[in-house]
Each structure stands twice: as C-alpha cells, then as structure tokens.
Amino acid sequence: MSKCALVTGVTGQDGAYLSQLLLEKGYEVHGVIRRSSHRGVEDHRLRWLGVSGKVHLHDADLADLSSLLRTVHDVQPSEIYNLAAQSYVASSWRQPVLTANVTAVGVTNMLEAMRLGAPGARFYQASSSEMYGLIQEPIQSEKTPFYPRSPYAVAKLYGHWITVNYRESFGLHASSGILFNHESPLRGIEFVTRKVTHTVAAIKLGLTHELRLGNIDAKRDWGHAKDYVRAMWLMLQQDQPDDYVVATGVTTTVREMCKIAFSHAGLEMEKYLVIDPAFFRPAEVDVLLGDSRKARKSLGWEPKIDLDVMIREMVDADLERLRREAAI
C-alpha cells in the first residue's frame, strides 16, 4: 500500500516542493487549505511544479480544531507535515494575536487532531531558526538556547515545545525540523530573497528603477527549499522521533546575496540599491548560522544546491514571469 500524507500549508513554498517529493515517492498526498476569496489562484505553486491536480485539497484551518479533526478522520494519514503558519516576520508585529493563534496554538490543534484521530501517524513540525533570535552561540545547534526576537519567533517557539511535549506526554512520533532560511523561485515576494530577485528582474526589464531594503548587513544561512523538504521526509522515516537543525553551515549577508542577483542580471548594484529605514525591524536578528551535523549524521542528509545557483535560478524565474506578464 502507498503511504498517505497530510500537508498543512500545502500551497506554500515548502508545501509545494514537499508534495512534489512525496508524489515522486508514490504517496497519496492530501493538503489543507484555508477557505478564502481567492479560490482558484492559491495553488499557483503546485501548478508551477505540475502537481496541482495530483494533490487532494481539503478545507480546514489551524485555528479550527473541528475542521482538523474532520480532515484527519477522513484522510487517515500515515504522516502529517505541519507547515502552515503566519510565516512573515514583519507582519507578526502588526498581527501578533493572529500569529499566536495560527503559528503557536494552531500546532496544538493539529497535534490534538492527530492524537485523537490518527495517533499512529508520524508528525513533522516546521520549527524555525528565528527562534534563536539574539543568538547565544555563534553557531546554532539543537542544544543552543533560544532567544526569540519577534512575535513570529515566539509563536514558533511555542509550536516547537508543544511538539516536544506531545511526544513526551503521549508517545507520539512527533519531530521538529529547526530549518534555517530556505528559498526558491516559489518563495513569497514579501521575503527578502524573492523581493531582491523579483526587483532585479524588473529593473533588468525596465519596469522599475530601484530596490529598497533595510539592514543589508544582516547575515543568514540560506539553502534551497527543495533540499530542505527532503530533510523533513527523512525525519519521519526514522524509528525514533527527534529534533534536527537543517542548515547549510554557510552564512552570507543580504548585501552579498544582492550582489549575486544583480551580477547575474548584468547590472551594477550600487546604481539601484536604496537603504530605507522603513524596512528595519523593531528588533533585528543580526546573524544566523546553523550546525546541521546531527541531521547529516543521523538522517544522511546534506544540501545539494548552493546559494549562487539558487539566486540565479530565482532571477531567471522572475524574468520569465515578468516577461510573460508584460508580454516583453
């Protein structure tokens, strides 16, 4: 029998790549989507990867336990991947209660639905490197203390620890992946890497004339989402649940990332980049650098796509999108 997976956040970047991976492995894939007025366009990432019609979609919401219970009962998944969240850090200051309800309490709702409806399933929680925040160690591992610096990070920390608690309290096979920044052509345009590649492509095509950013000296450990969803799957194939840092172990400034994008487009960054104080965060996370030795040793995982290749891929994809939209 083929395995059956239930994916929350299925229409997001990670959900789309994970769905593609699971389908390639012969899974029956079910996805949770929130009811919205944008029905018909929310699956554009699944369509980009050519898997839209192969994923069974269910109306449910992390903030509504009854809908999750019904979905788990109907699907009876062998694996549950909880990727849904209010995941934009900047918005979490403007919508802290929503972020808490979805990104924090929503994890409890999903775990409860699994505990009551499919206790034998295996559960993956999408934790985040943002939980490290004001870093307590120069390189962050599973044992590094957390110090969240945004409502989003605080909510993610709750989700992380409630997953540990359900694992220890009820014996659930529940694992967390502490994923460092991971990007792709499917990244939302509100995130800095995609904002950069989209704007660079627009400048190249003469559609805009500047890129406005905040703290370009912030450092991040960037990987490719396609590599990171492979780590998610590997975690649920282990006999015992656990928590794993997933990272490349290489940190790069936003400035250097921008240079890659501009260079690939044949543009001089200094002519177009504008530092705008409006984009500085109330509490900044200056450096993130992950130690993924545990994942590499225990899961046999390692990243395959480096930052240069990823950013060039993203610029090319945005050029393709904008040419198609503008008929250039």
| Residue 200 and residue 124 in one domain | no
In a domain, 268, yes or no: yes
| Residue range(s) defining the domain that contains residue 132 | 4-183+224-246
Write out pLDDT tens, residues 245-254.
Answer: 999 999 999 9
Asked whether the predicted pLDDT for residue 37 surpasses 50, the reply is no
Banded model confidence at residue 43, pLDDT cuts 50, 70, 90: confident
C-alpha–C-alpha distance, residues 324 and 320, integer Å? 6
Domain shared by 159 and 10, yes or no:
yes
Residues 139, 200 within the same domain: no
Tens-place pLDDT, residues 10-21: 999 999 999 999
Same domain, 84 and 230: yes
pLDDT band at 328 (very low <50, low <70, confident <90, very high): low
Which amino acid appears at position 122 of this protein?
A: R
Tokens of 203: 């400048």
pLDDT of residue 91: 86
We report the CATH number of the domain holding residue 260 as: 3.90.25.10
Domain count, the chain: 2
Claim: this prediction has a pTM higher than 0.85: yes
- Residue 69 inside a domain? The answer is yes
What SS3 state is found at 237?
coil
Q: Residue 1: its pLDDT value, please?
A: 55
Q: What is the dihedral of CA 162, 164, 170, 173, to 10 degrees?
A: 120
Residue pLDDT, tens place only, 50-100? 999 999 999 999 999 999 999 999 999 999 999 999 877 878 889 999 999
- Considering only CA atoms, which of 162, 149, 156, 197 is closest in space to residue 179? 156
HSE (CB half, 13 Å, CA atoms) of 137?
12
C-alpha 19/C-alpha 49 separation (Å) is 9
> Pairing relation of β-strands 56-59 and 79-82?
unpaired
Is the Cα dihedral 89, 215, 195, 132 positive or negative? negative
| 301 contacts 231 by C-beta, under 8 angstroms | yes
- Residue 298 in any domain: the answer is no
Of 32, 95, 29, 19, nearest to 68 by C-alpha is 32
The answer to whether residues 150 and 198 belong to one domain is: no
Residue tagged 């996370």 (tokens):
285
Q: Which of 67-71, 146-150, 181-185, 280-284 has the lowest mean pLDDT?
A: 280-284
